Structures are given as structure tokens and as C-alpha cells.
């Protein structure tokens, strides 16, 4: 099964082109970093994949379903973590998760079982009775990732999920998500931080709406550092250095 296929996707905001003929394919269980500086088009692509933006040009297939022709079936296979947190701070972890489960048609004992499984995957099971407000930023993010897994999607999309977190917490979250990919989930992780990419990861470099490279991090770097390769491709000043 192909988890995600993006074929010649283009997008414009009026006269401004945000994406130009973007194409790539993600297989089952692959972790892929979508690396690009601010303005590269990452959020625009995620909005298309989440159906917040229409597909203006090209075609998107998710878990072998055409996103335009079968949007509900395709989106049922997707878990999404957006840049901006969307948790109710005054509810407990469990209640936030139950609310989201209900949106996916999951209720009662079945929902509770799926929630517990998802929280366990992120090392958050013991936090379920705590109010979100009492959790630190890293735990809130882990909870959002767990929430995106309740309905057991095939594809997990994360849009700069570690923004605002310290280095240690970022590492813990990237490690958790790599483990999810190792167990069969396909992951597209948007970031502008080169240090979130591991040597063995696949990396798609997006710049000014174009795919500039699609290779493993090690191949992309060659005999230089990945940061140097990235700077050469994008001329970006923004790295995690």
C-alpha cells in the first residue's frame, strides 16, 4: 500500500504561487521529514492534505484513496497534528481524548481502550486524569500526537510539532514518532530544523514551493554536513544551529 502519493500538486494564493508541481510518494512505515525554511509551502501542503484547502492542481492519494474523489474515506486514514495546539486546557487528558474519539464515531469502552493504547504509545497513559493545563509543553504535544492516533490512521502528518519546545523535549518527541514509524505508521514530519532529521531518515527539501531534493539524510549530506547541504539547496539562514 502507498500511504501517500502527491502528484504534481500546485497551489496559489491569488497571484502568489505557494506550491509548484510537488510530487513524492510515501510508503507504509516510512518516516519522512519535509524540510524547508519558513515560506517554503509546508503548511500549504498540509492544509491540502487535511482538505482545509482545495486541490487546485494535481492529485493526492492517501492509503490508496483519491483525496478529491473519496475525501471521507481518505481522511479516515489520516492523523494530523497542527502547529497550533488545539486542546481544551480545563478538561482532563481523558476528556479531551474522548471528545476527539467521538468525532471519529468511537464511544464508551471501545473509545477508552483506543485512547489508552494511543496514550501508552506516547508514554502518557499515567497522565489521563490530569487537566491539560497542568501538563508541560512536551506532554501536551505528546498528548496531541496520541490523540491523532486514536482512530488508528495509516498516515500521520505533523506540522512543525516541536515549535517552542526545548532540545531535550524535542528529541523525546522525535524519538517517539520514529518508533511509531518503525511499527508501521507512515509519517510526514514538517520542520525547518535540520537537527530533527536522523541520518537514516528520508528527507524531502521544499523551497519556494518546489521539491529541491528527495533522498535519505545521509545521501543528501554526502561528504558535507546535512546543514551545509540544506543551506546550499535553500540558501536559508534559518537552521537550528
Site for ligand ADP, rule CB under 6 A: 13, 16, 18, 36, 38-44
Q: What are phi and psi of 229, to 5 degrees?
A: -60, -40
User: What sign does the CA torsion over 31, 179, 164, 97 have?
Assistant: positive
For ligand ADP, the closer CB: 98 or 158 = 158
- In this structure, the number of other CB atoms found within 10 A of the CB of residue 130 comes to 15
Who's near 78: CB < 8 A, 6+ residues apart?
Answer: 49, 50, 62, 153, 154, 155, 156, 157
Give the shortest CB-193-to-ligand ADP separation in angstroms: 12
For ligand ADP, the closer CB: 23 or 117 = 23
For ligand ADP, the closer CB: 35 or 156 = 35
Give the shortest CB-16-to-ligand ADP separation in angstroms: 5
Give the shortest CB-104-to-ligand ADP separation in angstroms: 26
Give the shortest CB-87-to-ligand ADP separation in angstroms: 21
For residue 13 the three cell numbers come to 494564493
Count CA atoms within 13 Å of residue 17 on its CB side.
11
Amino acid at each position: 500500500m502507498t500511504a501517500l502519493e502527491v502528484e504534481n500538486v500546485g497551489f496559489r494564493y491569488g497571484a502568489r504561487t505557494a506550491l509548484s508541481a510537488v510530487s513524492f510518494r510515501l510508503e507504509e512505515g516510512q518516516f519522512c521529514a519535509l524540510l524547508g525554511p519558513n515560506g517554503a509551502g509546508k503548511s500549504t501542503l498540509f492544509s491540502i492534505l487535511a482538505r482545509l484547502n482545495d486541490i487546485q492542481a494535481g492529485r493526492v492519494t492517501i492509503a490508496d484513496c483519491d483525496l478529491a474523489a473519496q475525501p471521507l474515506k481518505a481522511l479516515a486514514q489520516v492523523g494530523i497534528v497542527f502547529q497550533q495546539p488545539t486542546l481544551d486546557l480545563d478538561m482532563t487528558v481523558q476528556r479531551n481524548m474522548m471528545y476527539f474519539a467521538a468525532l471519529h464515531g468511537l464511544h464508551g469502552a471501545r473509545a477508552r481502550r483506543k485512547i489508552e493504547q494511543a496514550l501508552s504509545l506516547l508514554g502518557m497513559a499515567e497522565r489521563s486524569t490530569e487537566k491539560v493545563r497542568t501538563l508541560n509543553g512536551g506532554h501536551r504535544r505528546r498528548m496531541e500526537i496520541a490523540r491523532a492516533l486514536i482512530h488508528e490512521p495509516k498516515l500521520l502528518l505533523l506540522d512543525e510539532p516541536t515549535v517552542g519546545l526545548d532540545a531535550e523535549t524535542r528529541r523525546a518527541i522525535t524519538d517517539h514518532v520514529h518508533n511509531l514509524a518503525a511499527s508501521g505508521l507512515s509519517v510526514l514530519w514538517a520542520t525547518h530544523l535540520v537537527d530533527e532529521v536522523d541520518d537514516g531518515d528520508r528527507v524531502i527539501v521544499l523551497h519556494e514551493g518546489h521539491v529541491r531534493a528527495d533522498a535519505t539524510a545521509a545521501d543528501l549530506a554526502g561528504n558535507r554536513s546535512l546543514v551545509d547541504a540544506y543551506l546550499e539547496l535553500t540558501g536559508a539562514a534559518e537552521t537550528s544551529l
